[in-house]
Structure 1
Amino acid sequence: MTSRAVIRPYRPEDRDAVYDICVRTGHEGGDARHLYPDALELLPDIFAGPYATLEPGLAFVVDDGGGRAVGYIVGAADTAVFAARFREEWLPKVEHRYPRPVDDPRTPTEEMIGLLHNPERMIVPELAGYPAHLHIDLLPEYQRAGHGRELMRTLLDALARGGVPAVHLGMVTANTAARAFYDRVGFHEIAVPDPGPLTYLGREPFQKVGAAV
């Protein structure tokens, strides 16, 4: 199934496939459609679409060999700059679909809408030494075949060519499979006070990416 799959740059026609992947892997690595039945594009409008739009040079997909994206990695070279562009350029494109809740969030959808309207949450002082950040997702049937490692290597190489000194990511702590992958490809934990449900990890782009995943 995966023998013909290749890594290539993201193309605009990959948009629907990337959005679908984001949703199908958006709940601790599993399907998130049941959590956001009234807003199926909400997760990718936060964690995929803005990256592909604002930093297309740092967006790559796993192509199944027939032109369909089955996995992707996206990144931002400078998190503070990206957060500002998210507010100024991306949020006006989508906020009409997701009005800001007036009360404390009561549903998963309202919690995510709160994140959408607060891109400054990405700026964490303890991560200043890791200015870039990334998101990576693969459909389950394309995992454990080395595609995650190749996606990571491709993005890290692009960051290194751009002179980016280090990159971070935030992962749901309960997602132990994801943590095992990040450990294998050279990430280490970064101490952040009161991180909530997340664990922050970082690494330097020029390091060799580790074992196949």
Structure 2
Amino acid sequence: MTIRPAGAADRAALDDICLRTGDAGRDASALYADPRLLAEVYVGPYLALEPDLAFVLTDDHDVVGGYVLGARDTADFERRCEDSWWPPLRARYPLAGTTGGADAAPDAGRADAGIVRMLHSPPRADPAVVALYPSHLHVDLLPAWQGGGWGRRLLETLFTALADVGSPGVHLGVSRRNEHAIGFYRRMGFVELTGDDGGLTLGRPLT
């Protein structure tokens, strides 16, 4: 296994992993009529706007099985998304017209509308969180690639990259349903910052 910088050529593989782990760590393919939609939020802007903080895990044949994506300054990242990333997506995905087609799986499309609403009105990070933990990240590995310590190594790779550019701390969001991930993050030194019935925000200092 190898960890290397991600590039534009990896986008399709990362989109696929994002979807296949997008239901609190489980496969979300049946939930979306448009299989690209979830990654337009959780993959695309990071590769486009923060390419130096994007890393992939590959096997000996350069097949990608996991990734970690980060943003150094969350508030600045949100502004840049508003300037350049969200506008074309809002044109492509209007607030109306988010249901699946005739060939969609029975549940497909029920999650699309929520992501489209997010494109049009993206959530903003809590100022109290970003004051101490200004960076944020997303990390995903396919199930077959988990359990060998590579998730830890992906995070450590990003931690080093963030520390090198002066970040004092990093945060992430996780669904309360994803108990496996919550346990993993706690073992990696993350602590709970905020939470509600749906999820938690966890943070970790880098200095």
TM-score, scaled relative to structure 2: 0.89
Q: Which residue of 1 aligns with 2:117?
A: 114
Q: Kindly report which structure 2 residues correspond to 1:133-148, keeping only aligned pairs within 5 A, or say none.
A: 133-148=136-151
Q: Kindly report which structure 2 residues correspond to 1:1-213, keeping only aligned pairs within 5 A, or say none.
A: 5-36=1-32, 38-101=33-96, 107-119=110-122, 121-128=123-130, 129-192=132-195, 195-206=196-207
Given that residues 166 and 204 in structure 1 are in contact (C-alpha distance below 8 angstroms), is that contact kept between their aligned partners in structure 2?
yes
Given that residues 101 and 114 in structure 1 are in contact (C-alpha distance below 8 angstroms), is that contact kept between their aligned partners in structure 2?
no
Moved more, 132-141 or 92-101: 92-101
Alignment RMSD (CA, Å): 1.6
Moved more, 146-155 or 196-205: 196-205
Q: Secondary structure at the match of 1:169?
A: strand
CA offset at residue 196 of structure 1?
Answer: 4.8
Moved more, 196-205 or 174-183: 196-205
- The one-letter code matched in structure 1 to 2:200 is T
For 1:138 and 1:113, how far apart are their aligned partners in 2?
A: 25
Given that residues 18 and 48 in structure 1 are in contact (C-alpha distance below 8 angstroms), is that contact kept between their aligned partners in structure 2?
yes
Q: Which residue of 2 aligns with 1:210?
A: none
Provide, for residues 127-160 of structure 1, a one-character-per-residue CA deviation record: whole Å limited to 9, x for no partner: 1221110000001000011110010000000000
Given that residues 171 and 198 in structure 1 are in contact (C-alpha distance below 8 angstroms), is that contact kept between their aligned partners in structure 2?
yes
CA offset at residue 204 of structure 1?
Answer: 1.1
Structure 1: runs of 5+ lacking an equivalent? 207-213
Given that residues 176 and 197 in structure 2 are in contact (C-alpha distance below 8 angstroms), is that contact kept between their aligned partners in structure 1?
no
- The one-letter code matched in structure 2 to 1:153 is E
For 2:124 and 2:176, how far apart are their aligned partners in 1?
A: 17
Provide runs of 4+ in structure 1 moved above 3 Å.
Answer: none
For 2:65 and 2:41, how far apart are their aligned partners in 1?
A: 19
TM-score, scaled relative to structure 1: 0.87
Given that residues 14 and 68 in structure 1 are in contact (C-alpha distance below 8 angstroms), is that contact kept between their aligned partners in structure 2?
no
CA offset at residue 87 of structure 1?
Answer: 1.2
For 2:139 and 2:129, how far apart are their aligned partners in 1?
A: 19
Q: Which residue of 1 aligns with 2:102?
A: none
Given that residues 9 and 61 in structure 1 are in contact (C-alpha distance below 8 angstroms), is that contact kept between their aligned partners in structure 2?
yes
Between the aligned residues of both structures, percent identity stands at 43
For 1:122 and 1:17, how far apart are their aligned partners in 2?
A: 27
CA offset at residue 65 of structure 1?
Answer: 1.8
- The one-letter code matched in structure 2 to 1:49 is G
Q: Secondary structure at the match of 2:29?
A: coil
Provide, for residues 75-97 of structure 1, a one-character-per-residue CA deviation record: whole Å limited to 9, x for no partner: 11111110111111111332233
For 2:197 and 2:84, how far apart are their aligned partners in 1?
A: 28
